[in-house]
Amino acid sequence: MEPKDTFFSRKLNINCKGDLIDLSEPKIMGILNITQDSFYDGGKYSSSEEILAQVTKMNNEGADIIDIGAYSSRPGAKDLSVKEEIKRLTSILDIIRNKFPDLILSVDTFRSEVAKEVVNSFNVDIINDISAGELDPNMFELIADFNIPYIMMHMKGSPQNMQEDPEYENVTKSVMTYFEEKINKLKLLGVKDVIIDPGFGFGKTIDHNYQLLNHLNDFRMFELPILVGVSRKSMVYKVLDLSAEEALNGTSALNTIAIMNGANILRVHDVKEAKETIKLTSKLLSAKADNWRD
Protein backbone atom coordinates (compact mmCIF):
# COMPACT_ATOMS: atom_id res chain seq x y z
CA MET A 1 0.00 0.00 0.00
CA GLU A 2 1.44 3.41 -1.02
CA PRO A 3 1.01 6.49 1.18
CA LYS A 4 -0.86 9.35 -0.43
CA ASP A 5 1.73 11.86 0.75
CA THR A 6 5.04 11.44 2.50
CA PHE A 7 7.92 13.74 3.17
CA PHE A 8 10.00 11.93 0.57
CA SER A 9 7.35 12.25 -2.15
CA ARG A 10 7.87 16.02 -2.26
CA LYS A 11 10.21 16.96 -5.10
CA LEU A 12 10.99 20.48 -4.00
CA ASN A 13 14.00 22.47 -5.09
CA ILE A 14 15.25 26.01 -5.52
CA ASN A 15 17.30 27.37 -8.39
CA CYS A 16 20.42 29.25 -7.31
CA LYS A 17 22.00 30.76 -10.42
CA GLY A 18 21.33 27.66 -12.48
CA ASP A 19 22.15 25.10 -9.78
CA LEU A 20 19.16 23.20 -8.46
CA ILE A 21 19.23 22.76 -4.69
CA ASP A 22 17.31 19.60 -3.82
CA LEU A 23 15.14 20.00 -0.74
CA SER A 24 13.74 16.48 -0.66
CA GLU A 25 15.91 16.12 2.45
CA PRO A 26 15.99 19.13 4.80
CA LYS A 27 18.81 21.62 4.45
CA ILE A 28 20.54 23.72 7.09
CA MET A 29 20.79 27.49 7.04
CA GLY A 30 23.48 28.67 9.42
CA ILE A 31 22.90 32.05 11.09
CA LEU A 32 25.59 34.72 11.06
CA ASN A 33 24.46 37.84 12.88
CA ILE A 34 26.81 40.81 12.60
CA THR A 35 24.77 42.93 14.95
CA GLN A 36 25.49 44.07 18.49
CA ASP A 37 22.01 43.42 19.86
CA SER A 38 20.73 40.13 18.48
CA PHE A 39 18.95 38.14 21.19
CA TYR A 40 21.50 35.28 21.31
CA ASP A 41 24.72 36.01 19.43
CA GLY A 42 24.81 39.80 19.28
CA GLY A 43 28.38 41.10 19.27
CA LYS A 44 29.97 37.64 19.05
CA TYR A 45 31.34 38.12 15.54
CA SER A 46 32.79 41.59 15.19
CA SER A 47 36.26 41.00 13.73
CA SER A 48 37.11 39.45 10.36
CA GLU A 49 38.91 36.61 12.15
CA GLU A 50 35.86 35.78 14.27
CA ILE A 51 33.55 35.93 11.27
CA LEU A 52 35.73 33.70 9.09
CA ALA A 53 36.18 31.24 11.95
CA GLN A 54 32.41 30.97 12.45
CA VAL A 55 31.65 30.61 8.73
CA THR A 56 34.39 27.98 8.42
CA LYS A 57 32.97 26.13 11.41
CA MET A 58 29.41 26.15 10.05
CA ASN A 59 30.61 25.13 6.59
CA ASN A 60 32.65 22.23 7.99
CA GLU A 61 29.73 21.07 10.14
CA GLY A 62 27.43 20.82 7.13
CA ALA A 63 25.63 24.14 6.62
CA ASP A 64 24.09 24.29 3.16
CA ILE A 65 23.39 28.04 3.31
CA ILE A 66 24.83 30.87 5.39
CA ASP A 67 22.32 33.59 6.27
CA ILE A 68 23.92 36.93 7.09
CA GLY A 69 22.07 39.65 8.94
CA ALA A 70 23.18 43.17 9.84
CA TYR A 71 19.81 44.44 11.12
CA SER A 72 18.66 43.05 14.44
CA SER A 73 15.03 41.94 14.29
CA ARG A 74 14.68 40.94 17.92
CA PRO A 75 11.57 42.41 19.60
CA GLY A 76 12.08 46.10 20.33
CA ALA A 77 15.36 46.31 18.40
CA LYS A 78 16.65 49.73 17.41
CA ASP A 79 16.22 50.85 13.83
CA LEU A 80 19.25 50.96 11.54
CA SER A 81 19.76 53.22 8.52
CA VAL A 82 19.99 51.73 5.03
CA LYS A 83 23.46 53.22 4.67
CA GLU A 84 24.71 51.59 7.86
CA GLU A 85 23.14 48.22 6.99
CA ILE A 86 24.87 48.23 3.59
CA LYS A 87 28.17 49.29 5.18
CA ARG A 88 28.07 46.41 7.66
CA LEU A 89 27.14 43.85 5.04
CA THR A 90 29.68 45.05 2.47
CA SER A 91 32.64 44.62 4.78
CA ILE A 92 31.54 41.12 5.81
CA LEU A 93 30.46 39.83 2.40
CA ASP A 94 33.77 40.91 0.88
CA ILE A 95 35.63 38.79 3.42
CA ILE A 96 33.35 35.75 3.06
CA ARG A 97 33.15 35.78 -0.74
CA ASN A 98 36.94 35.94 -1.06
CA LYS A 99 37.37 32.95 1.23
CA PHE A 100 34.30 30.96 0.13
CA PRO A 101 33.47 31.92 -3.48
CA ASP A 102 31.07 29.01 -3.99
CA LEU A 103 29.21 29.14 -0.69
CA ILE A 104 25.45 29.69 -0.97
CA LEU A 105 24.85 33.01 0.77
CA SER A 106 21.57 34.49 1.94
CA VAL A 107 21.17 38.03 3.23
CA ASP A 108 18.55 38.77 5.84
CA THR A 109 17.10 42.16 4.84
CA PHE A 110 13.69 43.68 4.23
CA ARG A 111 15.06 46.60 2.17
CA SER A 112 15.18 46.43 -1.62
CA GLU A 113 18.06 48.90 -1.76
CA VAL A 114 20.15 46.65 0.45
CA ALA A 115 19.12 43.55 -1.51
CA LYS A 116 20.09 45.19 -4.79
CA GLU A 117 23.54 46.12 -3.50
CA VAL A 118 24.43 42.71 -2.07
CA VAL A 119 23.24 40.79 -5.13
CA ASN A 120 24.98 43.08 -7.60
CA SER A 121 28.25 43.43 -5.70
CA PHE A 122 28.62 40.05 -3.99
CA ASN A 123 26.54 37.58 -5.97
CA VAL A 124 24.33 36.84 -2.97
CA ASP A 125 22.16 33.85 -3.84
CA ILE A 126 19.04 34.30 -1.69
CA ILE A 127 17.18 37.21 -0.09
CA ASN A 128 15.55 36.48 3.27
CA ASP A 129 12.85 39.09 3.94
CA ILE A 130 11.23 39.09 7.39
CA SER A 131 8.45 41.39 6.15
CA ALA A 132 7.49 39.64 2.87
CA GLY A 133 7.54 43.01 1.11
CA GLU A 134 5.41 44.78 3.72
CA LEU A 135 8.16 47.15 4.84
CA ASP A 136 9.43 47.88 1.31
CA PRO A 137 6.91 47.80 -1.58
CA ASN A 138 9.77 47.63 -4.10
CA MET A 139 11.07 44.30 -2.84
CA PHE A 140 8.83 42.00 -4.92
CA GLU A 141 9.71 43.67 -8.23
CA LEU A 142 13.40 43.59 -7.36
CA ILE A 143 13.25 39.86 -6.66
CA ALA A 144 11.45 39.34 -9.97
CA ASP A 145 14.13 41.34 -11.82
CA PHE A 146 16.97 39.39 -10.22
CA ASN A 147 15.18 36.04 -10.53
CA ILE A 148 16.68 34.69 -7.30
CA PRO A 149 15.18 32.59 -4.50
CA TYR A 150 13.17 34.62 -2.03
CA ILE A 151 12.34 33.70 1.56
CA MET A 152 9.27 35.54 2.77
CA MET A 153 8.32 35.45 6.40
CA HIS A 154 5.13 36.36 8.18
CA MET A 155 5.49 39.14 10.70
CA LYS A 156 2.75 41.17 12.32
CA GLY A 157 3.93 44.78 12.50
CA SER A 158 7.65 45.63 12.64
CA PRO A 159 10.52 44.50 14.88
CA GLN A 160 9.91 47.60 16.98
CA ASN A 161 6.25 46.81 17.79
CA MET A 162 5.52 43.21 16.75
CA GLN A 163 5.32 41.84 20.30
CA GLU A 164 2.93 44.48 21.61
CA ASP A 165 0.03 42.18 22.46
CA PRO A 166 -0.33 40.28 19.13
CA GLU A 167 -3.82 38.83 18.60
CA TYR A 168 -5.34 36.45 16.04
CA GLU A 169 -8.72 34.79 15.78
CA ASN A 170 -6.88 31.78 14.33
CA VAL A 171 -3.15 32.24 13.89
CA THR A 172 -2.68 29.40 11.38
CA LYS A 173 -5.50 30.58 9.13
CA SER A 174 -4.28 34.18 9.35
CA VAL A 175 -0.75 33.28 8.34
CA MET A 176 -1.96 31.01 5.53
CA THR A 177 -4.24 33.74 4.15
CA TYR A 178 -1.31 36.15 4.31
CA PHE A 179 0.90 33.77 2.32
CA GLU A 180 -1.82 33.05 -0.23
CA GLU A 181 -2.06 36.75 -1.08
CA LYS A 182 1.71 37.19 -1.23
CA ILE A 183 2.27 34.08 -3.35
CA ASN A 184 -0.32 35.22 -5.88
CA LYS A 185 1.41 38.60 -6.22
CA LEU A 186 4.79 36.95 -6.71
CA LYS A 187 3.39 34.54 -9.30
CA LEU A 188 2.01 37.46 -11.31
CA LEU A 189 5.51 38.95 -11.33
CA GLY A 190 6.99 35.65 -12.53
CA VAL A 191 8.87 34.79 -9.34
CA LYS A 192 9.37 31.02 -9.25
CA ASP A 193 11.61 30.24 -6.29
CA VAL A 194 9.71 31.18 -3.14
CA ILE A 195 10.29 29.80 0.35
CA ILE A 196 7.78 30.46 3.11
CA ASP A 197 8.61 31.04 6.77
CA PRO A 198 5.73 31.21 9.30
CA GLY A 199 7.77 33.61 11.42
CA PHE A 200 8.04 31.97 14.81
CA GLY A 201 8.41 34.71 17.42
CA PHE A 202 7.55 37.55 15.06
CA GLY A 203 4.29 39.07 16.22
CA LYS A 204 3.19 35.91 18.01
CA THR A 205 2.77 34.78 21.57
CA ILE A 206 4.36 31.53 22.74
CA ASP A 207 0.99 29.82 22.34
CA HIS A 208 0.70 31.15 18.78
CA ASN A 209 4.14 29.71 18.00
CA TYR A 210 3.19 26.25 19.20
CA GLN A 211 -0.11 26.35 17.33
CA LEU A 212 1.79 27.14 14.14
CA LEU A 213 4.34 24.40 14.73
CA ASN A 214 1.56 21.91 15.40
CA HIS A 215 -0.14 22.87 12.13
CA LEU A 216 3.01 23.29 10.03
CA ASN A 217 1.82 20.48 7.76
CA ASP A 218 -1.06 22.71 6.65
CA PHE A 219 1.42 24.99 4.86
CA ARG A 220 2.36 22.17 2.51
CA MET A 221 -0.78 23.01 0.52
CA PHE A 222 1.22 25.80 -1.12
CA GLU A 223 3.67 23.23 -2.54
CA LEU A 224 6.57 25.51 -1.64
CA PRO A 225 9.59 24.88 0.57
CA ILE A 226 9.02 25.69 4.24
CA LEU A 227 11.69 27.31 6.41
CA VAL A 228 11.54 27.05 10.18
CA GLY A 229 13.53 29.24 12.53
CA VAL A 230 13.04 28.37 16.19
CA SER A 231 16.70 28.26 17.17
CA ARG A 232 17.20 29.29 20.82
CA LYS A 233 14.09 31.50 20.72
CA SER A 234 11.88 32.40 23.66
CA MET A 235 9.35 29.74 22.64
CA VAL A 236 12.05 27.31 23.74
CA TYR A 237 13.77 28.90 26.71
CA LYS A 238 10.75 30.55 28.36
CA VAL A 239 8.79 27.30 28.40
CA LEU A 240 11.80 25.54 29.92
CA ASP A 241 12.60 28.44 32.27
CA LEU A 242 16.11 28.72 30.86
CA SER A 243 18.22 31.28 29.01
CA ALA A 244 18.87 31.36 25.25
CA GLU A 245 22.37 30.03 25.98
CA GLU A 246 20.83 26.93 27.58
CA ALA A 247 18.22 26.30 24.88
CA LEU A 248 20.12 24.02 22.49
CA ASN A 249 18.48 20.77 23.60
CA GLY A 250 15.01 22.31 23.38
CA THR A 251 15.84 23.70 19.96
CA SER A 252 16.78 20.23 18.70
CA ALA A 253 13.50 18.84 20.03
CA LEU A 254 11.43 21.46 18.19
CA ASN A 255 13.51 21.09 15.03
CA THR A 256 12.69 17.38 15.07
CA ILE A 257 8.98 18.16 15.27
CA ALA A 258 9.35 20.75 12.49
CA ILE A 259 10.92 18.19 10.15
CA MET A 260 8.26 15.63 11.00
CA ASN A 261 5.66 18.26 10.10
CA GLY A 262 7.21 19.15 6.75
CA ALA A 263 10.04 21.67 7.24
CA ASN A 264 12.53 21.79 4.37
CA ILE A 265 15.06 24.25 5.78
CA LEU A 266 16.14 24.72 9.38
CA ARG A 267 17.58 28.14 10.22
CA VAL A 268 19.90 27.54 13.16
CA HIS A 269 22.74 28.85 15.28
CA ASP A 270 24.08 25.33 15.91
CA VAL A 271 24.79 23.50 12.67
CA LYS A 272 26.31 20.27 14.00
CA GLU A 273 23.32 19.53 16.20
CA ALA A 274 20.86 20.41 13.42
CA LYS A 275 22.70 18.06 11.07
CA GLU A 276 22.33 15.23 13.58
CA THR A 277 18.64 16.05 14.05
CA ILE A 278 18.04 15.89 10.30
CA LYS A 279 19.94 12.62 9.94
CA LEU A 280 17.99 10.89 12.70
CA THR A 281 14.60 12.28 11.69
CA SER A 282 15.17 11.45 8.04
CA LYS A 283 16.01 7.89 9.04
CA LEU A 284 12.77 7.67 10.97
CA LEU A 285 10.72 9.08 8.10
CA SER A 286 12.40 6.74 5.64
CA ALA A 287 11.53 3.76 7.80
CA LYS A 288 7.94 5.00 7.98
CA ALA A 289 7.77 5.24 4.17
CA ASP A 290 9.26 1.74 3.82
CA ASN A 291 6.61 0.40 6.19
CA TRP A 292 3.86 1.89 4.00
CA ARG A 293 5.36 0.23 0.94
CA ASP A 294 5.42 -3.14 2.73
Here the CATH number for the domain that contains residue 274 is 3.20.20.20
Report how far residue 73's alpha carbon sits from residue 160's, in angstroms, rounded to the nearest whole number: 8
Query: Is the pLDDT confidence value at 134 over 50?
Result: yes
Residue 1 confidence (pLDDT): 34
SS3 125: coil
Question: Which whole number is the average pLDDT over 221-236?
Answer: 96
Phi then psi for residue 197, to 5 deg, are: -130, 115
Q: Containing domain of residue 167, as a range? A: 22-293
Residue 42 contacts residue 292 (beta carbons within 8 Å): no
Residue 129 contacts residue 153 (beta carbons within 8 Å): yes
68 located within any domain: yes
254 located within any domain: yes
11 located within any domain: no
Residue 159 confidence (pLDDT): 66
218 located within any domain: yes
Residue 65 confidence (pLDDT): 97
Query: Is the pLDDT confidence value at 294 over 60?
Result: no
Residue 42 confidence (pLDDT): 46
Report how far residue 94's alpha carbon sits from residue 96's, in angstroms, rounded to the nearest whole number: 6
219 located within any domain: yes
Tell me how crowded residue 81 is: count the other CB atoms within 10 A of its CB. Answer: 9
Enter the pTM of the model. 0.90
Domain count, the chain: 1
Query: Is the pLDDT confidence value at 158 over 70?
Result: no
User: What is the residue-averaged pLDDT of the chain?
Assistant: 89
3 located within any domain: no
Query: Is the pLDDT confidence value at 114 over 90?
Result: yes
Report how far residue 89's alpha carbon sits from residue 95's, in angstroms, rounded to the nearest whole number: 10
- pLDDT, tens digit, for every residue of 19-56? 899 998 899 999 998 875 444 444 565 678 888 999 99
Q: Which residue has the higher pLDDT, 76 or 123?
A: 123
Active site residues: 233, 267
185 located within any domain: yes
- pLDDT, tens digit, for every residue of 118-133? 999 999 999 999 999 9
214 located within any domain: yes
Encode 124-155: b = buried (16+ Cβ within 10 Å), e = exposed: bbbbbbbbbbbbbeebbebbbebebbbbbbbb
